[in-house]
């Protein structure tokens, strides 16, 4: 069976992304050398530059992929529940638990904000997961489960708090304690019965 050029390009790109992700998670952005990623992926340095232009380009693509996977993981956990409130809690807990994942910890929480810059990192976060949080909060407000308020400021506050908590967990903080604190924080949003 003959492999097409498009399939070869896709395989090369996938190999670079996989090796880049492994190294960025294990070593941190500043210790990774693109030529070494290419060699370990079994491709030339020229191929790496063709697909990503630079180490920063590879990192940007890895960040986008890790953020997308995290957003999907959070959405999957939320969708396991029928109740809107339980969906919010499950999604938030899944995000916190992601702080134990080495790729999330090093790539998303530690390196991405400094390497990409705050604005680009936030824009990618918005695209991958913050919009889901805003949608959930809007649905809860419309259902009268949480007190009526604009979704955007609340989304930013919760997203920031969860990013900090996930980073704390990633650095050895107690996941269970963070989840208890999160439940108390979320409970304060509920409309009084």
Going along the chain from its start, the domains and CATH numbers come out as 1-53 (1.10.10), 63-188 (1.10.357.10)
Q: What is the pLDDT of residues 16-37, one digit of tens each?
A: 999 999 999 999 999 999 999 9
Averaged pLDDT score across all residues of the chain: 92
* Bridge partners for 146 per DSSP: 190
Q: What is the pLDDT of residues 139-155, one digit of tens each?
A: 999 999 998 888 889 99
**Whole-angstrom Cα distance, residue 58 to residue 60?**
5
DSSP class of 146: B
Percent of the chain with pLDDT over 90: 66
Phi-psi region at 2: left, alpha or beta (left = phi > 0; alpha = psi -120 to 50): beta
Q: How is the chain split among helix, strand and coil, in percent rounded to 5?
A: 80, 0, 20
**pTM of full prediction above 0.95:** no
Alpha helices in 80-191 (DSSP H): 84-97, 102-103, 112-115, 118-125, 131-142, 151-170, 175-187
Instruction: Indicate if the pLDDT at residue 177 is higher than 90.
Output: yes
Contact assessment for residue 17 and residue 61, using Cβ atoms and an 8 Å cutoff: yes
Secondary element (H or E) of residue 189: none
């Amino acid at each position: 069976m003959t492999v097409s050029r498009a399939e070869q390009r896709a395989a090369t790109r996938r190999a670079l992304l996989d090796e880049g992700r492994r190294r960025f998670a294990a070593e941190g952005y500043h210790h990774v050398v693109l030529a070494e990623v290419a060699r370990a992926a079994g491709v030339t340095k020229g191929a790496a530059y063709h697909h990503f232009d630079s180490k920063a380009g590879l990192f940007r693509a890895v960040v986008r992929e890790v953020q997308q996977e995290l957003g999907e993981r959070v959405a999957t956990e939320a969708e396991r529940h029928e109740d809107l409130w339980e969906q919010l809690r499950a999604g938030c807990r899944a995000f916190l638990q992601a702080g134990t994942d080495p790729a999330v910890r090093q790539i998303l929480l530690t390196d991405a904000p400094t390497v990409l810059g705050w604005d680009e990192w936030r824009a990618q976060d918005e695209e991958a997961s913050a919009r889901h949080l805003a949608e959930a909060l809007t649905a809860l407000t419309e259902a009268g489960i949480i007190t009526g308020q604009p979704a955007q400021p609340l989304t930013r506050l919760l997203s920031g708090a969860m990013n900090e908590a996930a980073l704390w967990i990633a650095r050895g903080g107690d996941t269970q304690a963070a989840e208890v604190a999160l439940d108390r924080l979320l409970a304060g949003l509920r409309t009084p019965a």
